[in-house]
Amino acid sequence: MKSSESATPAGSGTPGNPATPTAPTAPGGATGAAGPAGGRGAQLKHTGLRPGWTTGACATAAATAAYTALLTGDFPDPVTITLPKGQTPAFALAVEELAAGRATAGVVKDAGDDPDVTHGALVRATVRLLPPGSGVVFRAGPGVGTVTRPGLPLEVGEPAINPVPRRMMTDQVAEAAARHGGRGDVEITVSIDHGEEIARSTWNPRLGILGGLSVLGTTGIVVPYSCSAWIDSIRRGVDVARAAGRTHVAGCTGSTSERTVAELYGLPEDALLDMGDFAGAVLKYVRRHPVERLTVCGGFAKLSKLAAGHLDLHSARSQVDKGFLAELARTGGAGEELAGQVAEANTGLAALQLCAAAGVPLGDLVAVAARDQALEVLRGAPVAVDVVCVDRAGAVVGRSTPAGGPPAGGPPLRRRAPGT
């Protein structure tokens, strides 16, 4: 099971009507807006599944309410925040506590139709005023983990509050300070009731995140997954792209990779497929319903699973094989010492960083191997494939050239062996 994200928090609602949930109807679109004809929004609409809010969005709402209460004496309920893509959901509060120089607010997380182990968890934020010039400082309260091993997007010793939720909270604190005459110098302690117990059902302990859960989310919105519904939505996405005359489509593991691939190739929204963890579903359907070119774009760790032969990239069903990455690194010039370090790395990101420091192009090697696995699944279908690996910020860390085909106007491209 995943410890990822959620939908309409219990009690989340519209201003003036907190009993009415304000759930986004489509990722990347305005709250309540109809989804586009194609792309990720249409896929989500087609599944009929209810999306929701991330743990990071819940923490941001709680922190915003707590800081506003410190400045004004009153908790805004519901409290409205702005998400990275501009949506403005409102969250009702489950906890309100105000004391001298400190306030706590809490929001109950609702995972919507996503099978998320954090469904129903109470996410609290305690905000304490700090001296001028202190900025925003984050602390891990009960139920939120601490990073104890390298290879994550946070330094060892830091609370497991990921970069985007930190930025969301910092931005909302600055906005509240500007509105109510504050300085914005605060300590934010995020806690999750029973988080340490819940974290035992996640991969956090193996990753060296100890003491509780991670506060996650890159968009603030959770895209729910039902395997059959999502695979059906992928097929619909391919059909829509083909009907629109698109000759180049991209299967993306999430919103960050979607943004990167759209910028790289200038692809319109109806050429973007939210494949999530279902790489095999995209490849098998495109095999039967080919397009001239397919780009697969996703996080380095997820695509390393495809490179190793996994077609389902979900963390519950496939894991990053560091031994496989070590073998790839050897083909790229890594010596035995470096290969051993890669094999023992905490995460795929840590392995990538080790190789980058040594000038070994592990990202490119993974992209090529993933491309060739995709070509195996396509079984000679007339589809040219390339793969783009990105990091958590969306920067390209690995890329293959197109292979397969035939591309428009030419003979079939020769398949290449990994590492070439």
Q: How far is CA 390 from the centre of its chain?
A: 12
As a whole number of angstroms, the distance between CA 41 and CA 273 comes to 10
For residue 4, CA distances in Å to 63, 101, 140, 155, 223 come to 20, 32, 18, 20, 10
Q: Give 251's strand partners.
A: 273, 296
- The mean per-residue pLDDT over the stretch 55-78 comes to 96
As a whole number of angstroms, the distance between CA 341 and CA 336 comes to 9
For residue 413, CA distances in Å to 306, 362, 372, 386 come to 21, 24, 12, 12
Per-residue pLDDT band at 343 (split at 50, 70, 90): very high
As a whole number of angstroms, the distance between CA 179 and CA 163 comes to 24
Q: DSSP letters along 118-186, please? A: TTT-EEEEEEEE--TT--EEEEE-TEE-EE-SSSSSS-TTSBSB-HHHHHHHHHHHHHHHHHHT----E
C-beta separation of 367 from 391 below 8 A: no
As a whole number of angstroms, the distance between CA 159 and CA 347 comes to 18
* More confident call, 322 vs 27: 322
As a whole number of angstroms, the distance between CA 63 and CA 82 comes to 13
As a whole number of angstroms, the distance between CA 119 and CA 52 comes to 11
Cβ atoms < 10 Å from Cβ of 388? 25
CATH superfamily of 39-222: CbiD-like (3.30.2110.10)
- The mean per-residue pLDDT over the stretch 153-158 comes to 90
Q: Which helix (H) or strand (E) holds 126?
A: strand 122-129
- Token pair 């039967």 is at which residue? 288
**Nearest to 69, CA basis, from 105, 34, 32:** 105
* More confident call, 19 vs 376: 376
As a whole number of angstroms, the distance between CA 266 and CA 268 comes to 7
Tell me the CB-side half-sphere exposure of residue 181, using CA atoms within 13 A.
3
As a whole number of angstroms, the distance between CA 31 and CA 406 comes to 42
Token pair listed for 391: 């990091």
- The mean per-residue pLDDT over the stretch 377-395 comes to 94
Backbone φ, ψ for residue 349 (5° rounding) = -60, -40
Tell me, yes or no, if the pTM score tops 0.85. Answer: no
Q: Work out the end-to-end distance of the chain between its first and last CA atoms, rounded to an integer number of angstroms.
A: 37
Q: Which helix (H) or strand (E) holds 229?
A: helix 227-243
The pLDDT value recorded for residue 291 is: 95
Per-residue pLDDT band at 3 (split at 50, 70, 90): very low
As a whole number of angstroms, the distance between CA 45 and CA 37 comes to 10
Per-residue pLDDT band at 12 (split at 50, 70, 90): very low
Q: Which stretch, 68-72, 84-88, 214-218, has highest mean pLDDT?
A: 68-72
Backbone φ, ψ for residue 147 (5° rounding) = -75, 125
- What's the one-letter identity of residue 73? G
Query: Parallel, antiparallel, or unpaired: how do β-strands 293-299 and 383-390 relate?
Result: parallel
C-beta separation of 413 from 390 below 8 A: no
Domain ranges of the chain: 39-222, 227-405
As a whole number of angstroms, the distance between CA 299 and CA 409 comes to 32
User: pLDDT tens, 259-269?
Assistant: 999 999 999 98
For residue 293, CA distances in Å to 16, 365, 369 come to 49, 20, 17
pLDDT at 17 over 60: no
- The mean per-residue pLDDT over the stretch 83-88 comes to 90
pLDDT at 19 over 80: no
User: pLDDT tens, 310-336?
Assistant: 988 766 677 889 999 999 999 999 999
- What's the one-letter identity of residue 362? L
Q: How many helices (H) and strands (E) does the chain have?
A: 13, 19
Q: Give 136's strand partners.
A: 186
The pLDDT value recorded for residue 7 is: 31
Query: Parallel, antiparallel, or unpaired: how do β-strands 221-222 and 102-108 relate?
Result: unpaired
The pLDDT value recorded for residue 1 is: 33
User: pLDDT tens, 221-241?
Assistant: 776 655 666 777 788 788 888
Alpha helices in 244-384 (DSSP H): 255-265, 279-288, 300-307, 322-331, 336-343, 348-357, 362-378
C-beta separation of 404 from 387 below 8 A: no
* Helices 227-243, 39-47: crossing angle, 10 deg rounding: 140
Token pair listed for 120: 């129903």
- Percentage of the chain beyond pLDDT 70 is 81
